[in-house]
Amino acid sequence: MAAPESQNLATPSALRNAFGSVLSVLILVLIGVLAFSIRLFSVIKYESVIHEFDPYFNYRVTQFLSKNGIYEFWNWFDDRTWYPLGRVIGGTVYPGLTLTAGTIWWVVNSLNIPLSVETVCVFTAPVFSAFASWATYLLTKEVKGSGAGLAAAALLAMVPSYISRSVAGSYDNEAVAIFALIFTFYLYIKTLNTGSLFYATLNALAYFYMVCSWGGYTFIINLIPMHVLMCIVTGRYSPRLYIAYAPFVVLGTLLAALVPVVGFNAVLTSEHFASFLVFIIIHVVALVYYIKGNLSPKMFKVAVTLVVSIGLVVCFIVVAVLVALVASSPTKGWSGRSLSLLDPTYASKYIPIIASVSEHQPPTWPSYFMDINVLAFLVPAGIVACFSPLSDASSFVILYIVMSVYFSGVMVRLMLVFAPAACIMSGIALSQAFDVFTGSIKYQLGGSSKSKDDAEDNTSTNNAPKDDASTGKTDKVEEIAKERSSKKGKKKEREPAEKPSIRSKIAKKKALVLPLEASIVALLLLIMLGAFYVIHCVWAAAEAYSAPSIVLTSQNRDGLHVFDDFRESYAWLSHNTDVDDKVASWWDYGYQTTAMANRTVIVDNNTWNNTHIATVGTAMSSPEKAAWEIFNSLDVKYVLVVFGGLIGYPSDDINKFLWMVRIGGGEFSHIKEADYLRDGQYRIDSEATPTMLNCLMYKLSYYRFVETDGKGYDRVRRTEIGKKNFKLTHFDEVFTSHHWMVRIYKLKPQKNRIRGRVKKLKSKTSSGSFTKTEKKNPWI
């Protein structure tokens, strides 16, 4: 973007201009490198491995894609999950991330660079965060010039909230979706600023990529119409707005409908209705403006009354149809996750499966400080800066931040959408502040050394005609950004050359000139603030967000201790069980089991079938025999539980157990949460209820646990367990990992005793009575 544009290299101003462009390209490259490398802590501290849960599924899908090709991928029916239902992967997955990584892998391999699919997947997120920071630069440049753009890009490159979802190995949809989101917004604003149909088409394509990548695309398809509506209401309608919006909706919706997982939802669900409504409104408004231009004011008034009366009738009909459509669907046309966005208490009330996921909870205040740090203080300043002057672009950014603040307050996961907005705002704020302070300093110093050199007027040098939002400001802002990143000596060297241009501008708004000392102090404080932000981000990247969660480490006196129990058990399952065996576990471990152990699971993290999950929850909450029957009916051979009591791993199945009870109880009424609680308290010690002490989860977790220390002290719950010595009647322990974190049990085969009886009967009695005994046999 910032390639030297000036043809006339002879004049010093053009040379300086070109130099600035090259410098900003260099800075952008460095920002990209920063964004990429700050996310490599996970590889350096741990290893190049896929993280957590969902990334394992994406990894598995990518493996399938790279092995079988795109057509097989669209038709993929996965029979290794949700046994016996299976899952249509091609039609239920957002394919953007998978296709992106698959394409990268294909390109790299056709160049004979033998990278494994895993390596490509691990590094997709860091690469795309570099892209995202460049997209942020472009977006902010459209709003407030390239200085703000560079500042925003640098902030986004290391914002902890985004790092948390895009460290190397975090191979999740958000990794590419944030880039797609910012880039779509950039193209929208670019179209808005230029009125170019070329950018409008690109915008629709970027939106298509976003739809492919993440369910969060609904944020775009609601935010842009809102902005268009806002522009119309505040009288900012222009043909550019029409060009920016109308092709986007038409093309974007058509393209979105191409994605199998969205399909007709792109026109049928309520999340998309706002865009169509605004589409109608903008046409009405465009028509009005057109007619207004053609008619005399008197005729126009007549036309207005005519149109308004007809328009009201049409609107009424449309609204009636919409209401009828919406009312006919059970959830009023909104998906559960979307509903919980509008009503934050919706999920916890009605859908325990959504509420049970920690990232669907509302965030706490400390998490704002953790995730965006000092940006929280800079955002208001940025909003103020956007109001002076208010342009189409800056109003969009304001709307973006307001909406994303609300959404992030509902669901902690959407902090991710808020973070780019916060970076853009803070970038603008920082840039404007530096602008004012350095301008003041230059003015104060320049006043004493006026006669040193006189140079040409520079006000109209830069790409001013391109930005109608920030005409003439870009140049100055860019210089400031340069100073920030360059050494002080360099800065002094260039100072005299800049003076005239700055002086001429500062003369225009002398009101902003501050005293020299105050400016210097404020600058230092700002730099300190920035330094604090950088330190915090590096700390967050290194310490807080880099753990892959499948391997845990603890630092103690003897040095680093590694807990690699999950992979130990998955490897065991993968090598020592039959390839068609079914493994039951709580849904959290479904994706990992299919990806790492390559075994069929009953439920996984794609929680599409509540009843199926409730069945597993019920089995875990039932006594041994009932659980055995449930599992046997599901053809399960192994049951996997995660137990942290020996080493103190808090997110184990016993701590998740109440969710199993709740979800199970939601479908099967004989499971009651109250049976598992003693006076409303969840406990596993001797005070626990008999239902709790006899349920399968308790037994599988604590089987022979007492033999480790003689008391059965649970280090997570910090108590001795309630029932210590018991035998399993329907399950056999077949594997327990080194630190007991994963325990795998095998269902005992159907009882021999009864089969023996059948055999005896067979030999003694005739076939007629044999069928009678068979009916009695509960095992067959």
The contact set with other proteins (CB under 8 A) reads: 3-4, 47, 49, 111-114, 550-551, 562, 564, 567-572, 575-576, 596, 704, 707-708, 732-738, 740
Q: How far is the CB of 572 from other proteins (least distance, A)?
A: 5
Q: In which element (H, E) is residue 87 found?
A: strand 87-88
CB closer to other proteins, 88 vs 706: 706
Q: How far is the CB of 709 from other proteins (least distance, A)?
A: 10
Quick check: 475 and 458 in contact, CB under 8 A? yes
Q: How far is the CB of 21 from other proteins (least distance, A)?
A: 11
How far is the C-alpha of 316 from the C-alpha of 334, rounded, in Å? 22
Q: What is the DSSP string of 653-691?
A: HHHHHHHHHHHHHHH-TT--GGGG-BTTB---STTS-HH
Give, in order, the Cα–Cα distances in Å from 650 to each of 412, 507, 688, 715. Answer: 20, 63, 19, 9
Q: How far is the CB of 626 from other proteins (least distance, A)?
A: 22
Q: How far is the CB of 52 from other proteins (least distance, A)?
A: 13
CB closer to other proteins, 564 vs 685: 564
CB closer to other proteins, 47 vs 456: 47
CB closer to other proteins, 426 vs 593: 593
What the block records as the tokens of 441 is 């300093």
Q: In which element (H, E) is residue 326 found?
A: helix 297-328
Q: How far is the CB of 731 from other proteins (least distance, A)?
A: 10
Q: How far is the CB of 698 from other proteins (least distance, A)?
A: 17
Strand partners, 638: 583, 746
How far is the C-alpha of 654 from the C-alpha of 637, rounded, in Å? 21
Helices 217-233 + 239-258 axis angle, to 10: 160
CB closer to other proteins, 3 vs 511: 3
Q: How far is the CB of 728 from other proteins (least distance, A)?
A: 10
Residue given tokens 């940025």 in the structure block: 382
CB closer to other proteins, 436 vs 597: 597
CB closer to other proteins, 442 vs 743: 743
CB closer to other proteins, 6 vs 689: 6
Q: How far is the CB of 117 from other proteins (least distance, A)?
A: 11
Nearest alpha-carbon partner for 611 in 671, 656, 670, 664: 664
Q: How far is the CB of 392 from other proteins (least distance, A)?
A: 25
Q: How far is the CB of 504 from other proteins (least distance, A)?
A: 27
3-state secondary structure 215-268: CCHHHHHHHHHHHHHHHHHCCCCCHHHHHHHHHHHHHHHHHHHHCCCCCCHHHH
How far is the C-alpha of 668 from the C-alpha of 249, rounded, in Å? 44
How far is the C-alpha of 475 from the C-alpha of 460, rounded, in Å? 9
CB closer to other proteins, 117 vs 204: 117
CB closer to other proteins, 407 vs 735: 735
Please state the φ and ψ torsions of residue 53, each to the nearest 5 degrees: -105, -65
**Residues whose CB is less than 8 angstroms from the CB of residue 182 and which lie 6 or more positions away in sequence, other chains included:** 132, 135, 136, 139, 420
Q: What is the DSSP string of 142-165?
A: HHH-HHHHHHHHHHHHT-HHHHHH
What the block records as the tokens of 484 is 């920030």
Please state the φ and ψ torsions of residue 743, each to the nearest 5 degrees: -125, 130
Q: How far is the CB of 245 from other proteins (least distance, A)?
A: 27
Sign of CA dihedral 713, 718, 723, 728: negative
**Residues whose CB is less than 8 angstroms from the CB of residue 198 and which lie 6 or more positions away in sequence, other chains included:** none
Q: List, in sequence order, the alpha helices (H) in 509-643.
A: 516-539, 565-576, 590-592, 610-621, 624-633
CB closer to other proteins, 45 vs 776: 45
How far is the C-alpha of 778 from the C-alpha of 780, rounded, in Å? 6
CB closer to other proteins, 512 vs 734: 734
Cα–chain center distance at 312: 41
Quick check: 20 and 479 in contact, CB under 8 A? yes
How many CB atoms neighbour CB 121 within 10 A?
31
CB closer to other proteins, 704 vs 762: 704
Q: How far is the CB of 182 from other proteins (least distance, A)?
A: 25
Q: How far is the CB of 761 from other proteins (least distance, A)?
A: 22
Q: List, in sequence order, every beta strand (DSSP E) within 691-780.
A: 713-714, 719-720, 731-736, 742-747
Strand partners, 560: 555
Q: In which element (H, E) is residue 582 found?
A: strand 582-584
Q: How far is the CB of 427 from other proteins (least distance, A)?
A: 27
Q: In which element (H, E) is residue 185 found?
A: helix 173-194
Quick check: 28 and 22 in contact, CB under 8 A? no
Q: How far is the CB of 550 from other proteins (least distance, A)?
A: 8
CB closer to other proteins, 269 vs 737: 737
Q: What is the DSSP string of 2-26?
A: -S---S--SSHHHHHHHHHHHHHHH
Nearest alpha-carbon partner for 314 in 337, 284, 282: 284
